[in-house]
Chains A and B, each alone.
Chain A
Amino acid sequence: MTAPRRVVITGVGAVSCYGAGTDSLWSGIAAGKSGASLVDIPGAEGLPVRFAASVPFATSMLETMLPSPRAGKTMSRAAMFAMIAAVEAARTAKLDPGAYDSARVGTSLGMGGLGLMDREHMDTTFDIFARTRDETAGAIDRARLYRTTMERIHPLTPLKALPNIAAANLAIQFGAHGPCQTHATACTSGTQAIGDAARLIRWNVCDTMIAGGADSMVNPNGIIAFAGLGVLSRNNAEFATAARPFDRRRDGFMLGEGAGMFILEDLETCRARGGVPIAELAGYGCTSDAHRLTDEPEDAHGSIAAMRAAIHDAGISFDAVNYVHAHGTGTMMNDRIETLAIRQTFGHHAQRIPVSSTKSMTGHLIAAAGALQLAISVLALRNGVVPPTINYSQPDPDCDLDCVPNTARRAAIDTVMSNCFGFGGQNACLIVRSM
């Protein structure tokens, strides 16, 4: 029997509130720097939340950063994040599309909010409504609305709205003729996209995967939607410190946006081409609560099962994990239940593991959350530094683990678990370890 194929990460790319690239990402994270800023949205005073961890580039600027600017006209803001991060990942992996067996290269992307959520589209829609208002009747003339929509909405707009177009653009860019898949599982999208990509390599379907997640919900639609669900912090007055995972005063998360992208390879394929692994993607666990859509079960059974499955998949003992990169959204429920789940999974060892939430700095990237989190996890491994949970001042007895308060910590870590939980009762965990 042949030994199971091992999956290694050979390239990492990111777009975050700190800008484009993993260098700026790590500088911000290691410094414990908040990515919070006031949103640049006309009429923001009408929004319930006026801050987020925004990517500091207008969409028109992002377009100029693409390897093929023409492709930008079919890309949502999130799709552009994915492409920019993927190019960085391929560059760091020294991946040569001319040299690989393209049929054995696949793409796997976690996506969420799509182009119809982007602010530019919303502005066009507003303009159409303004033109089709029947002043005498005081209402929208629907027939005129439909005609004007047909005339005014750019005909390529539906491509920005299709969930798979971002991954398809990646496949075109990198000449990847293997499976091209898209995951839309709310906040676990990116994690599942990466985990399932690793399985395709292990199962010998592919040798190389371009995998990750991207999302952009920092727009009026996203803010209103998540504020309506009651999961965003509305602490506009103290926006710079409003994201407070594990703190007793936490009152919801801060929205973020961006992407994390990876080149995953079969270890032997990587060695044969002279590639250099950065870390091993050792374990993946994925479960469903099958309970309620937005309430986590009080016994945390789904998230515990996902963590245990990832540990089992990695073939390690639970006490080999020496850093847990928490989902840690900063909602009352998530942080309490996640703490319980970590305690149940790790027993007494939970007391000894640092468990931090970088959403305190980057905000919650929704579909891209797990992907950016994994990028930070890999950088933490490489640098021997555990990222902090910032804005922490008041301990919560329900969240009594070591959350690495406020300042990054140098530590000899070699095995990291990265947690992700999402609406719908989605649970997904990844384990990365040093090579």
Chain B
Amino acid sequence: MTSVLTFDEVFQNLTRIVADALRVNPATITPDTNLIVDLDAESIDLVDIRFRIEEAYGFQIEQRAFVTGVAGDMPVGELVNLITMRRLVEFVMRRKGEAA
């Protein structure tokens, strides 16, 4: 039987991952936190976060899939507004669901 991941569970886990990757206080991270605007993430940080998610959840993510998956396949110029924790959690839940 595959247990279903709840939003809160994934959010808590991703908060820890993102806080570790970006060396920020996890208490400052909410579902609306934007990784780029609020946490000043750059491209290498997204690569780092992708690797940490792969390690934690045991699935592989192409870097491109990761960015489009999180950003909803929007043009690059708009990524900045779309890489939020909420989108990240939904992406991981979707991928984990596909894997199950």
Residues on A lying within 8 angstroms of B by beta carbon are 69-70, 72-74, 151, 154-156, 159
| B22 and chain A: residue at smallest CB distance | A70
**Is A156 a contact of B47 with CB atoms below 8 Å?**
yes
The residue that B48 contacts in the complex, of A69, A151, A156, with Cβ under 8 A, is: A156
Q: Give bound CA distance, A414 to B51, whole Å.
A: 54
Q: Give bound CA distance, A154 to B51, whole Å.
A: 7
Would you call B44 an interface residue if the criterion is a C-beta within 8 Å of the partner chain's C-beta atoms?
Answer: yes
22 contacts between A and B (CB under 8 A): A69-B23, A70-B22, A70-B23, A70-B45, A72-B23, A73-B21, A73-B44, A73-B48, A74-B44, A151-B54, A151-B60, A154-B48, A154-B51, A155-B47, A155-B48, A155-B50, A155-B51, A156-B44, A156-B47, A156-B48, A156-B51, A159-B44
Instruction: Add 18 more A-B contacts to A155-B47, A155-B48 (CB < 8 A).
Output: A69-B23, A70-B22, A70-B23, A70-B45, A72-B23, A73-B21, A73-B44, A73-B48, A74-B44, A151-B54, A151-B60, A154-B48, A154-B51, A155-B51, A156-B44, A156-B47, A156-B48, A156-B51
Interface string of B11-41 (1 = CB under 8 A from A): 0000000000111000000000000000000
Chain A residues near B54 (CB, 8 Å)? 151
| A63 and chain B: residue at smallest CB distance | B23
Residues on B lying within 8 angstroms of A by beta carbon are 21-23, 44-45, 47-48, 50-51, 54, 60
Q: Give bound CA distance, A69 to B40, whole Å.
A: 13
Q: How far is the CB of B60 from chain A (nearest CB, A)?
A: 7
Q: Give bound CA distance, A72 to B51, whole Å.
A: 16
Q: Give bound CA distance, A155 to B47, whole Å.
A: 7
* Most chain A CB neighbours (cut-off 10 Å) among B45, B48, B50: B48
Label chain A's interface by main secondary structure: helix
Chain B residues near A154 (CB, 8 Å)? 48, 51
Q: How far is the CB of B82 from chain A (nearest CB, A)?
A: 22
| B50 and chain A: residue at smallest CB distance | A155
| A73 and chain B: residue at smallest CB distance | B48
Q: Give bound CA distance, A73 to B21, whole Å.
A: 8
Q: Give bound CA distance, A159 to B51, whole Å.
A: 15
Chain B residues near A155 (CB, 8 Å)? 47-48, 50-51
Q: How far is the CB of A79 from chain B (nearest CB, A)?
A: 14
| A159 and chain B: residue at smallest CB distance | B44
Chain A residues near B48 (CB, 8 Å)? 73, 154-156
* Most chain A CB neighbours (cut-off 10 Å) among B21, B45, B51: B51
Q: How far is the CB of B16 from chain A (nearest CB, A)?
A: 16
| A154 and chain B: residue at smallest CB distance | B51
Chain A residues near B50 (CB, 8 Å)? 155
* Most chain B CB neighbours (cut-off 10 Å) among A70, A73, A159: A70
Q: How far is the CB of A124 from chain B (nearest CB, A)?
A: 12
* Most chain A CB neighbours (cut-off 10 Å) among B21, B23, B54: B23
3 pairs of A and B residues whose beta carbons are closest in the complex: A69-B23, A70-B23, A155-B47
Q: How far is the CB of A173 from chain B (nearest CB, A)?
A: 15
Q: How far is the CB of A76 from chain B (nearest CB, A)?
A: 15
Q: Give bound CA distance, A151 to B50, whole Å.
A: 11
Q: How far is the CB of B50 from chain A (nearest CB, A)?
A: 8
Chain B residues near A156 (CB, 8 Å)? 44, 47-48, 51
Q: How far is the CB of A121 from chain B (nearest CB, A)?
A: 15
Q: Give bound CA distance, A155 to B44, whole Å.
A: 9
Q: Give bound CA distance, A321 to B13, whole Å.
A: 63
Q: How far is the CB of A387 from chain B (nearest CB, A)?
A: 38
| B20 and chain A: residue at smallest CB distance | A73
Q: Give bound CA distance, A371 to B25, whole Å.
A: 36
Q: How far is the CB of B59 from chain A (nearest CB, A)?
A: 11
Q: How far is the CB of B36 from chain A (nearest CB, A)?
A: 14
Chain A residues near B44 (CB, 8 Å)? 73-74, 156, 159
Q: How far is the CB of A301 from chain B (nearest CB, A)?
A: 47
Q: How far is the CB of A217 from chain B (nearest CB, A)?
A: 26
Q: How far is the CB of B42 from chain A (nearest CB, A)?
A: 9
Q: Give bound CA distance, A155 to B8, whole Å.
A: 28
Q: Give bound CA distance, A159 to B54, whole Å.
A: 20
Chain B residues near A151 (CB, 8 Å)? 54, 60
Chain B residues near A72 (CB, 8 Å)? 23
| B21 and chain A: residue at smallest CB distance | A73
Chain B residues near A70 (CB, 8 Å)? 22-23, 45
Q: Give bound CA distance, A69 to B60, whole Å.
A: 27
| A70 and chain B: residue at smallest CB distance | B23
* Most chain A CB neighbours (cut-off 10 Å) among B44, B47, B60: B44
Q: Give bound CA distance, A74 to B21, whole Å.
A: 11
Q: Give bound CA distance, A83 to B71, whole Å.
A: 35
Q: Give bound CA distance, A212 to B22, whole Å.
A: 28
Q: Give bound CA distance, A69 to B56, whole Å.
A: 22
Q: Give bound CA distance, A417 to B23, whole Å.
A: 43
| B39 and chain A: residue at smallest CB distance | A70
Chain B residues near A74 (CB, 8 Å)? 44
Q: How far is the CB of B29 from chain A (nearest CB, A)?
A: 15
